[in-house]
A and B are shown apart, each in its own frame.
Chain A
Amino acid sequence: MKQASLFRLRLMLLAALLCSAGVVFENQLLGSDPPARLELTAPAYHPEDKFLGVKECHLCHRRGAEDNAWVRLDEVHRWESMDRHSQAYKTLESERSATMIEILRRSDRGWSDKPAYQQDRCLNCHALNCPVELRGERFEISNGIGCGACHGPSERWLIQHHRTNWRTESEEKKQSLGMIPLQNPAVKTKLCLSCHLGNTAEGKVVTHEMYAAGHPILPGFEVETYSDLEPPHWRTLHQKLLELGADDEKEREQIEKVIKARNKDFADYERATTVLVGGVIGLRQTVMLLGTQAHLADEALHRPKKDGVSSDMPAWPRLAQFDCAACHHDLRQPSWRIRRGFTGKPGRPGIRQWPTALTKLAIVHLGRTPDEADEEIAKGLKPLREALDQQPFGRPERIAAAADTVLAWADQLLKEINAKKLDDAAAERLLSEICLLGGKEILDFDSARQLAWAYRVTSEEMAQRSRMEPTSAESSILAQLNKELYLGLAPGRERKQTAIEAKEWATDYATRLQARMDYDPERVQKLFARLAAR
């Protein structure tokens, strides 16, 4: 319930942004009732909540400021110099973006000839695209995904959050003042996924047309890995503990209090837990996106057509919400896809595969066997699979209804995972299970990456807690997995305050795409099997 209400706040926030930015929600035009769990709109947002802008934060969170165990105080500097979120808006000024708009204009589907950096459909993810009246004096749209985009508008909490007792305030209190409680793994993952996967209610949807025009693919997302590569400008509670000095008794108490408020204890792995919660959220949001898009398509199909006005969104199918690799692969024999087989009817594309990889791991973590986990996932997704089997891409009204049922299952699963401890022994089991699953299953590129990432995060967290370095065998296998799966993200992070050089980026992107296409699960399976014997 808590998560739901937090998420609603986030939606509230963005609805305001989008409405005033001129986005008319399709479902407001018709009165039909969408299935209950589909989040289609966001309620109005607190009128006082201004986004004060990165510069406001920079006054304190800058390099050279006095740091402590709780807060680094160089956050804006790290964001600016290493975090690609600071470059998100600049990407829209690139030549590639201009070419994309040119191509999309030709498609005659409601794309205006404004540059990408003036189009809401681009800005909603590439910047903090809030309404003008909510932009503070120091706010600049060109800051891209700045502080406020994730932490929320700071007008009502700016002063209070300077105080040390703010640290132990409840999530609810912070949230009531407009701050987004990113310490909550579910809240954080949903927030990241709103762009890195898509979110209908927030107007953040990469369409198939945008991909075809040149938008890079959105790879399977794993929240802890992406955070790690961002790189983080924060510390986990456990890392904070490690930073504490001998006389930081007060801070120690604060940390204990926060951990307790989350119903966890010191033994719980924060990052590994986030991996599992994030994994199920990944599946949940994938289904949410497909379901909400299906519902909008269903309404669009029943709405009388306006003469001569082409819709800016296709009715159905919204191809981008299906598994890209279901269609996009060379036809060849022998082929690992044929060896793997498929569920459902032949030739009926399904949802993305990667979110089920960590969902399965999460279910195994709950104590079920891998076979039981398979059954549970098949049962959970059954309504959707049946809807997608009906005809290629299914019928939207049935998909929307099926998505609703699947969401209920995913939320139930999340409750169970939240209640489950993840201590040293559980983490050890998790590592073994990852190796077993990875060694046994024929996984697609993105799914194999999910498992490799989950392993890396869990193993790193274990090493940090035990203060032991990983073995050289383990490091060597992970390095080989990295070669197969490109476990790092695209370059550009190390550059100091410069825009990513387009050419370098494009070369790297082409290499990564080629690696995806050349991917062979057999090699990766063998590496996981060797990792099991590390």
Chain B
Amino acid sequence: MDESTSMYQDRASIERLASPAQGSLWRLLAALAVLGTGIAVVVGGHRVARSEVPAVESTPIPQFIGVDSCASASCHGDVGSAADSSCAYTTWASNDPHARAYQVLFNERSQQMLSRLGIAVDDTASPAYFQALREQRCLYCHGTATPSDGGVEPDEAIVSQGVGCEMCHGPARQWLLPHFQDPHWSDRGPAEKSRLGMVDMANLPLRVRTCTKCHVGASGMDVNHDLIAAGHPRLTFEAAAYHALWPKHWDYAEQRLADPGLPTQLWKIGQQQSAVAATELLHQRAQHAADGGTWPELAEYDCYACHHSLADQAWRKRRYESEGLTGGLPWNEWYTAMLPSLATGTASPQAHAALNSLKKLRNAMTKGDYPTPSAQQVADTSREALNRLQDWIASEAAAPVVTGELIAAVGESGPTSDLGTWDAMTQRYLALVALADGARVPLSDPVYEDLRKLRKLLTFPTVRESIDQKRRTIDYDSPATFEPRDVQQLLEKIESRLIANDANEP
């Protein structure tokens, strides 16, 4: 088994994973191991093995050592081109929002959130405030820390560095020295490096899964409905878009030249891996609920199925009545809407099995025990879906990704205006942006004008109102003016333009 499964897990949990007498665990891991990226850590480590493996007590070692170890001017703290890895720390510190993730926890909104959650902490500099951030799980995405720290008190000096190098590249306690001392370090393979805790960021599925831990959520570090209701923004991760917007601290331009289809790949891998992450999170939530935890987890549902003005119902009615879902709670489809497009034109039994298992999961979530499903049923169905998704991904590991085919597939099997939710239609838009990038459509092409128009139709509105002669701006955090039929024509126009472009490519 590839021990890169360690990711952020301490050694003890790896040993737990690898211990014998875990029939079903091995079965699951066997499926996952095919992937070679070993991203099933949490499922494997906590949930699935929970009832079968006695907990192994171990003395945990703090794994994170902080960005200071990387920031030396002769290592990654140089000043120069962002594309030069010797400037990686500098780029991160000066341009990357991850570097400021921790500061966010001290702004007015965060303080309001804590107070809404019933935590009264006036002094943000007090140890009590830090403790509250830990208890509310804020640290694990806004700082350098992990919930699987084995009970070790997180070191505030390191945590407060924000989402630093080690949050993606892996806790460096064991690899720091060989990394800069061993002249042959770069000759060592990813498997060997990962044994020391370094995460192979060149591996795209693994890179995406590193993002999804926070941007989709994982056990112990998820944004649930309580947090959202208290003021946390909803999470809407789409790998290609996030990746495009992210200030790179390596030579991405060169990589793109070498592999023009990189955005397409990122989009496809992003769709699949985000679905895996979302399904895994749902599984963890449902299993936790089946064991007596909170249920339903409202963050799993389509936000705007409930949160909308009662005076505007047209597209919701079309969609949910057609499914016989009148008045029910529909599972959100942000992470699943584009998967049928990925399976279009393939006879792959794994792809169809995965889509079927997701359909079953959707039924269990939305129709199972109306209006909120049985947690145990969802836990079981989501585990099955997770396995099928992993099988599908593994079966395609060697398959080439062809941008033109995917554009056609999005047009053919993407969510349609009659049944589209905002989530689904926005994912279809994001797909086209990534695929236009992957097809190397020049920025002068009129298709971008249409994409901008489409984007405007999907953007949450800002409305100016005047009350008693006072004018004010209302920012909507929901698609108050959205109508899927408005975007359908534009989508089709963009898609045919992209297909025509693709056909003209030499």
* Chain A residues in the interface with B (C-beta under 8 A): 103-104, 106-109, 207-213, 217, 314-317, 319, 324, 327-334, 341, 345-348, 391-393, 510, 513-514, 516-517, 520, 522-523, 526
Contact = CB atoms under 8 A, between A and B. Distances in A.
A345 B117 CA distance: 6
B93 interface: no
A209 B294 CA distance: 24
26 contacts: A106-B321, A107-B325, A107-B326, A107-B327, A108-B324, A210-B327, A213-B321, A217-B310, A314-B369, A315-B369, A317-B372, A319-B327, A328-B309, A330-B476, A332-B474, A333-B475, A334-B472, A345-B118, A347-B230, A348-B229, A392-B225, A393-B372, A513-B310, A517-B310, A520-B467, A522-B467
A106 B324 contact: yes
Contact of A516 (B228, B310, B324, B472): B310
B291 interface: no
Contacts of B369: 314-315
B468 A523 contact: yes
Contacts of B327: 107, 207-213, 319
B241 interface: no
Interface residues of B, number: 40
Contacts of A104: 326
Contacts of A329: 307-309
A331 B476 contact: yes
Contacts of A213: 321, 326-327
Contacts of B475: 332-333
A108 B326 CA distance: 10
A314 B371 contact: yes
Contacts of A522: 467-468
A513 B308 contact: no
B467 A327 contact: no
Contacts of A330: 307-309, 476, 478, 480
Contacts of A348: 229
Contacts of B61: none
Contacts of B474: 332-334
Given A207-B327, A334-B474, A328 B370 contact: no
A392 B480 contact: no
Nearest to A514: B311
Contacts, number: 114
A332 B472 CA distance: 13
Nearest to B370: A314
B50 interface: no
Given A346-B116, A346-B117, A517 B372 contact: no
B30 interface: no
B252 interface: no
**Residue picked from A208, A212, A213, A510, most chain B C-beta under 10 Å:** A212
B296 interface: yes
Given A317-B371, A332-B476, A526-B468, A346 B229 contact: yes
B230 A346 contact: yes
B180 interface: no
A332 B370 contact: no
Interface string B104-129: 00000000000011100000000000
Nearest to A102: B321
Contacts of B476: 330-332
B235 to A, nearest CB: 15
Contacts of A333: 474-475, 477
Give me the 5 closest cross-chain CB pairs, A-B, nearest first.
A347-B229, A212-B327, A346-B229, A209-B327, A331-B477
Contacts of B308: 328-330
Given A328-B309, A392-B295, 5 more contacts: A107-B325, A212-B326, A319-B371, A332-B476, A341-B116
Nearest to B371: A314
A107 B226 CA distance: 30
Interface string B48-72: 0000000000000000000000000
B306 interface: yes
A311 to B, nearest CB: 8
B28 interface: no
A133 B226 CA distance: 53
B298 interface: yes
B311 A106 contact: no
A385 to B, nearest CB: 13
B311 A107 contact: no
A333 B296 CA distance: 27
Pick the most buried of B230, B321, B477: most chain A CB atoms within 10 A of its CB.
B321
Contacts of A514: 309, 311
Interface in B465-506: 467-468, 472, 474-478, 480
A324 B230 CA distance: 19
B422 to A, nearest CB: 12
Interface in B332-384: 369-372
A332 B304 CA distance: 12
Contacts of A314: 369-371
A108 B477 CA distance: 34
A332 B230 CA distance: 14
A327 B371 contact: no
Contacts of B311: 510, 513-514, 516-517
A510 B327 CA distance: 19
A329 B474 CA distance: 14
Nearest to A513: B311
B310 A328 contact: yes
B309 A517 contact: yes
A314 B476 CA distance: 32
Contacts of B372: 316-317, 393
A391 B228 contact: no
A70 to B, nearest CB: 44
Interface in B215-254: 225-226, 228-231
A517 B117 CA distance: 27
Contact of A392 (B296, B326, B328, B468): B296
A96 B309 CA distance: 21
